[in-house]
Amino acid sequence: MAASADLEDLCRNNHQLSENTLPVVRQSLLDWYDKHQRGLPWRQPSGVQGTARPAAHGQHDNTKAYAIWISEVMCQQTQISTVIEYYKRWMHAWPTVADLAAATIAEVHEIWAGLGYYSRATRLLKAAQQVVNDHQGLMPTTKAGLLKLPGIGPYTASAIASIAFNERVGVVDGNVIRVLTRVQAIASEATNDKVTKLLWRTVDMLADTDRSGDINQAVMELGATVCCPKKPQCEACPLRKICQAYQTKTRRQEAAGHACAFCHGAKLQVVEYPVKKKKKASPTQHVAVAIIEAGDYVLLRKRPATGLLAGLWAFILREVDDNHDREQHQLQLQEETETLIGSLKTTFKRHGEVTHVFSHLKHVYHVFTASLRERTVVQDRDDLCWQPKADVLRKAVSTNMKKVWQLSQGTLPVKAKRTSSVAKPLSKPITKFFKPAEDTL
């Protein structure tokens, strides 16, 4: 056992930053970040851009913590270029934790609609209410305290604690994983438990400084704008002189006959890091959709409080077989609708199909419309409503239903038929964000 432990320590040491290298790496990252960081709205002094409320005296850190929290949750699985406008609308509606805590779930979903992963928005509201009720409206100042809030995991807690309160803790997200697996030539799957522990150990060592928040943001920024997945700008990277992937060197286990747990002796190109686990094909479900119209209104139904797209509004849905039997789909939709509003004396018109891909599931929607002479009464049901057609896209309706609506109206962009809920990496030209970096290592 001792020999095995010693071997693992040797493997790990071959793939982590040395004590002598750490200070130089920190300074290089900070120098680069000070010059080239993007002017994102949550990095403003108050964290609130476009609102009329300045932070109250003594509440600057709490305001910043709230801003970092919202931005970090929004940026999960979503391009920053998309997030910015959502963030501004959110902060205009709820500039403080207390403002958010007083909101309704319907209001929160309406602002969030289009970002996907709606359970995140629900947990934001619950956590804000907990901060107000249990912490007098003040965000916890430590990673340990933040982890007790709904929806806040190790990454988000570390980001808030380090950036807002300068706690010396590191962060590990997709950008950080990409940078460190390349710098340290870690060719094992990034989800491997040993690799995960090594990455957290490395970032905690890097963040052991008076500017822990800036260090964390520097590594994330480097991964987002320079150390990109497919087209890394290695010549602009302040760490290129110690980057093992860039230098095309391999750290091999010195003990003959033993494979390194972190690289297996592999020699990869820069773009091949991090090594990813092969994904299983997402299952496909077929769903028939009925858009029930009555004059200038359409019928919407609220989804259950749990499960996929919980609590959001949708058209009438029915999971169906993938046999493309139009008549069968129509009968199933008529049956589903009649259980809600009574007998239908109308015919259904088919508009085609539209596909939407979630992170774990693909839906193929078979879209139909039906017109009624007048709206039926739904006042005794809070899960049904007649929505003006002009306001459908402004309701708390998810992206997949917006695509269904656009197909029925003939306004669906061709590329939207294969739009995914999982955002693509940032791909703006690198020159838009910074000048070439100086040699710092």
CA–CA distance, 97 with 131 (Å, rounded to integer): 8
Termini Cα distance of the chain: 39
Nearest in space to 140 (alpha carbons), one of 63, 32, 202, 62: 62
Residue in the structure block whose two tokens are 């998309």: 82
Write the DSSP string, 390-417: GGGGGSSB-HHHHHHHHHHHT---GGGG
Does the annotation count 110 as an active-site position? Answer: no
> Cα angle at 66 between 104 and 395, to 5 degrees?
30
- Choice among 8, 72, 110, 327 that is catalytic: 72
Sequence-separated (6 or more) residues with CB below 8 Å from residue 396: 106, 109, 110, 112, 113, 311, 312, 313
- How far, in Å, CA of 138 to CA of 157, rounded? 15
Cα separation, 74 vs 354, in Å, equals 26
Q: Within 10 Å of residue 369's Cβ, how many Cβ atoms?
A: 19
Side chain identity at residue 186, one-letter code: I
Phi then psi dihedrals of residue 292, to 5 deg: -90, 115
Catalytic residues: 72
